[in-house]
Structure 1
Amino acid sequence: EVVDLRTIRPMDHETIIASVMKTGRLVCVYEGVKTLGVGAEISAMIAESEAFDYLDAPIIRLGGAESPIPYNPELEKAVVPQVPDIVRAVRAL
């Protein structure tokens, strides 16, 4: 299930929990830095919910590099997750 970060507040906990319980998986992908990012919040929410027992694999978080995001579009691609990164993570899961 894809969550648009522009609509993260209020966070729809019920939908995220239901999705994890249905699929047994969670991959959080976001452009912000991985440390203290929205993926950490979603991961913590799942760890504290009944959905945790439904996980068939570890939670994967793909966040941006621990650096400011460049203005140059080509440089930006180097620091935020791209489609090949997401595909690799999902296949590894």
Structure 2
Amino acid sequence: MAETKTYREALREAMVHELDNDESVILMGEDIGVYGGTHLITDGLYDEYGPKRIMDVPISENGFTGAAVGMAMMGMRPVVEMMTWNFSFLAADQIIQNAAKVRYFSGGQ
């Protein structure tokens, strides 16, 4: 029988798996580093992977989502954590106006 996991446990397991297997994966979000995140999903990951891979960012969802778009364009694999779902609307501009169009803005490069 399959093991039952909480959504939080499954998220953490997936993030740890990717961090262990791909050096280009980084996590970024508000208070996810030293504090371990609002829901403690990233608790202890800062100590294990360090500040270059577990990044605490300022309260600017639009700003750090834009940074993640740029990182992805350069070959990194950023995972952005929004503290709550309603903050994702603040990041929508970066996703809709920049990430979705970059192929066309760059001539497919």
Which TM-score tier does this pair reach, normalised by the shorter chain?
Answer: 0.3 to 0.5
Q: Which has the higher contact order (CA 8 A, sep 6+)?
A: 1
In terms of Rg, which structure is larger? 2
The TM-score, its normalising length taken from structure 1, stands at 0.38
